[in-house]
Amino acid sequence: MPPRRDNDKFIQADSDSDISVDDEDFSKSHKGKGKADVRRKRDVKGKGKAKDTQSYTWEASYTRSWETVQEDEAGSLQSSVDDWMARGRRRRLLEPSTAIRRTIIRHLILLLDLSTSMMDRDMRPTRFDLMLQVVREFVAEWFDQNPLGQIGVVGMRAGIGERIGEMSGNPQEVLKCIADRHKLEPTGEPSLQNSIEMARSSMSHLPTHSSREIIIIFGSLTTCDPGNIHETLDACVKAKIRISVVALAAEMKICRDLCDKTGGQFGVALNEGHFRDLLFELIPPPAQQAVSRGASRATNPSADLMMMGFPTRLPDTSPPSLCVCHSEVKSEGFLCPRCLAKVCDVPTDCDICGLMIVSSPHLARSYHHLFPVRAYDAVLSADEAASNSCHGCFRPFPPPPTGTTTTSEGLSPLGRYRCPDCKNDFCSECDVFVHDVIHCCPGCGQ
């Protein structure tokens, strides 16, 4: 996640300072000129700001994102869009091609506060709606960075913990269970203990390699528990569950304790943007957790060779047999490749032989980081043109433009991008699609 500029946050603050009024006039007078003008203007603006408001550095970080989009002579936004794409391409070229270190398997339970306090309107539109919106973004981003991870969702409402989504490694499934706003309508009091217990029990079967985490989004100032929550806390510490809390209202002692004792992070959201930032800080894999866990069994805690088994999945129609994890008669399940015992779900440790069982697609999800596609070169001159349609999607290339067009770096005037390895031409859509989604060149793919 790139650092986010939070425009909404600063609009109010800026509108009553006279500097911003000056600025607005300044930019209006220059509006609608070429790109070079824009760049110059930005420089001037930056300098002016630095001079005028040296004491207010927070004001300097504020840029008007909508002003960087400029219409071209014909009044179309196409040139801005192209420019934006070109910038994306260049950023890709700058990316390092080294492997990224990741925690192996993360398991996370999201505890969502669905009590009546979530209907407060101190955050727009309501705490509840904001939470759903931010959590959706969070889930998408989390799965992107933690390909082997799994997320389950538990809601706190009417004094009980309510399982909203089973632990799943598929972002679509997790998003689906928090998609329907009406099913999650907040009611009653929240119960921290009940829901933490529920989250803890659903993570009890997980393999020892994985991290177990709970993220609580808490809007209430009370909790309605059936027993002593400190016992639950001790149980979590024992189970090595890391609890992080993002509070929407104010700091509560018990929330702070939960985080401190389990090694999690605690934060109180000041506003909408800060809430998002706090939650997104929890996306990268926790570093110190991996060290403390690995130190006990290896000299080099961050790297180890692990033995893993890739199971066979039995269909629903196979003859039922007992599973080793619950001793229930079931048709579906996974067979451990070493001892052929049947387990209900992967990833897990085999109960019989202790082999770590993962499905290979889980591992494969992160391989595109290891073997990235080389960036395509923009084809600049027309005489190089070989084929008349894109090698990926077979879209015919547009005819070469007549006259001189101003092009920025990394952008082909012909709309052709050539793979340096297989020398095939691709259209810009395929270029973006191949590098961002497929991670595999259609021409070089065997």
Rounded to the nearest 10 degrees, the angle between the axes of helix 229-238 and helix 192-202 is: 20
**Least gap, CB of 176 to another protein (angstroms):** 12
Q: Which is nearer to another protein, 319 or 403 (CB)?
A: 319
Of 15 and 78, which has the nearer Cβ to another protein?
A: 78
For residue 112, give the nearest of 16, 40, 219 by alpha carbon.
219
- Closest contact distance (angstroms) between CB of 68 and another protein is 20
Smaller CB distance to another protein: residue 370 or 380? 370
| Backbone φ, ψ for residue 298 (5° rounding) | -145, 155
Minimum Å gap between C-beta 298 and another protein is 5
Residue 79 in 3-state DSSP? helix
CA-CA distance, 264 to 244, in Å (whole number)? 5
Q: At closest approach, how far in Å is the CB of 200 from another protein?
A: 16
Question: Based on C-alpha coordinates, what's the Rg of the chain?
Answer: 27
**Least distance between another protein and beta carbon 16 (Å):** 40
49 or 209: CB nearest another protein = 209
Of 283 and 290, nearer to another protein (C-beta) is 290
Phi then psi dihedrals of residue 233, to 5 deg: -60, -45
Judge residue 205's burial from the number of C-beta atoms within 10 Å of its C-beta, 0-12 exposed, 13-18 middle, 19 or more buried.
Answer: middle
Contacts of 388 (CB under 8 A, 6+ apart): 396, 397
**Residues in contact with 352: Cβ distance below 8 Å, sequence separation at least 6, in sequence order:** 324, 336, 339, 341
Nearer to another protein, 57 or 321 (CB): 321
What is the nearest approach in angstroms of another protein to the Cβ of residue 346?
Answer: 8
Nearer to another protein, 214 or 355 (CB): 355
Compute the least distance from the CB of residue 376 to another protein, in Å.
13
**N-term to C-term CA, the chain:** 33
Output the six-digit token pair for 11.
């609009």
Distance CA 23, CA 47 (A): 12
CB 47, min distance to another protein, A: 36
Q: Give backbone dihedrals phi and psi of 157, rounded to 5 degrees, phi first.
A: -155, 155
**Can you tell me whether residue 314 is helix, strand or coil?**
strand
Scanning the structure block, which residue is given the tokens 């395929």? 430
Sign of CA dihedral 374, 380, 386, 392: positive
Nearer to another protein, 106 or 157 (CB): 106
